[in-house]
Amino acid sequence: MSLFEPKILSVSELTKLIKQELELSGQFKDILVRGEISGVTKSSAGHYYFTLKDEKSVVPCVLFRRYWGRETLSVELKHGMKVIVSGSLTVYEPGGKYQLKVEEVFPEGLGRLHLLAEELKQRLKAEGLFDEERKRPLPPHPRKLGVVTSPSGAVIRDIVTVARRRYPNIEILLSPALVQGSQAPASIVRALADLYAQPDVDVIIVGRGGGSFEELNAFNQEEVVRAIAASPVPIVSAVGHETDFTLADLAADKRAPTPSAAAELVVPRRDELCQRVDVLRERAEVTMLRLLQNLRANLTRLRTHTYFSNPRLLIEGKIQQCDEITAKLWQLGPAKLAKNRPELSLTQRRLALAVAGLVRTARQEIQYKKQSLRISITRMIERARAAGENQAGRLDALSPLKTLARGYSVCQNQAGRVVTTSSQVELGEDLRVRLARGELGVKVMEIKGEEKP
């Protein structure tokens, strides 16, 4: 083949080159296109195929299932719908045609709000405001829960009901705010600031009920998103229903599909905490008993050791060896005895020093073992005492008396049954009111109707 002969491409090679040029250039990535939807079809796998057209041109589009369900894709795609789509241009190689791979769809009637939210989303995302590394875990045992929502809606009732059912002793602090309308963003920011000023708030729920994109738009405003991201404590976003998404969800540490789910996510169940305390106490007892058994076994082993119980046996054994050596030397005769007497004397001195050293070492080791055993037992008792005080403190925190001490009371009729609603008593009936300290005998003078939930 000549150097000047032109390169011949196959159809597949040509298509692949075009695809690479389109996708690698970046010029056709994350573009916005306005048009009218036509020819919508949905595959068995859940992918949408349609064309986007205007008066002069059409462009094929594909919307893969993984993008469905986003905040901008919660509406059903229909023929004739005017939309603004966001996506990237690519080439479908088997068909040899270019197409727009759609990631987001904005109904044109709401296009301006969606575009503003999308622009803010991309800008804050570039700042790292939505990074997973910024997300904090929720506290396992919160004592005070802050809530930012409307004081008159069903949201606060749902949160309080679920939280009280799961952990009656938890303290709930409502910071009321407008959650819809032009004044809502500033109101939400003020409510958050009020909670941030409370030093003992452990976690915050920001929530409201479901609604349209415009009704939830307060939670897409920059001041609200930045205020949530700046929270000193973990925040759970519970805005709208499960299919509703806002920028507040991205800035929060956790997102809950509903306010009730947020309360379940934040507040632990008291019975589970009690079970956990019981398990920890049992583990501490088992560990302490095992440590005591090991220490007792070591002490018994030391006490029953032959040399420690009777050091004289070691000395007597060495004395016997010395006597045997002396007898053998005498058998060698006076001459050899005289010759070896210096060596014998040296051996005797070495033997005496060795015996004295063994006795001294044995005594030192006994003393060291006693001291180590005393220290180990002391530390074990201190750890057991600390564990017991810790468990007692946790159980004390769960005591119903704590609730009474905060100003609550328990009302009972003469049969000892707890009175929870006004319909359970009659005029003139005698009741007993249990306080944190003492009881009161009261008589029903007036009955008011129950408040409707």
Q: Is the pTM of this model over 0.85?
A: no
Per-residue pLDDT of the chain (453 residues; tens, 9 = 90+): 455 667 888 888 888 888 888 777 778 888 889 899 988 998 888 888 999 998 889 999 999 888 765 544 556 788 888 888 889 998 888 888 889 999 888 877 655 677 778 888 889 999 999 999 999 999 988 999 999 999 988 899 999 999 999 988 899 999 999 999 889 999 999 999 999 999 899 999 999 988 877 888 899 999 999 999 999 999 999 998 777 788 999 999 999 999 999 999 999 887 666 666 667 777 887 888 888 888 888 877 776 766 666 666 667 667 777 777 777 766 666 666 566 677 777 877 887 787 777 778 878 888 888 888 888 888 888 887 887 777 767 666 666 677 777 778 888 888 888 888 888 888 889 989 888 788 888 988 988 876 544
3-class state of residue 313 by DSSP: helix
pLDDT at 452 (0 to 100): 46
pLDDT at 73 (0 to 100): 56
Domain boundaries, the chain: 11-126, 134-268, 294-397, 405-443
What is the DSSP secondary structure assignment for residue 218, as one 8-state letter?
G
Measured over the CA atoms of residue 364, residue 365, residue 366 and residue 372, the dihedral's sign is positive
- What is the C-alpha separation between 206 and 213, in angstroms, rounded? 17
pLDDT at 266 (0 to 100): 92
The answer to whether 118 touches 104, Cβ cutoff 8 Å, is yes
CATH number belonging to the domain at 11-126, selected among 2.40.50.140, 3.40.47.10, 3.40.50.620, 3.40.50.261: 2.40.50.140
CATH numeric code, 134-268: 3.40.50.10550
Q: Spell out the residues 6+ positions from residue 395 whose beta carbon is closer than 8 angstroms to its own.
A: 274, 277
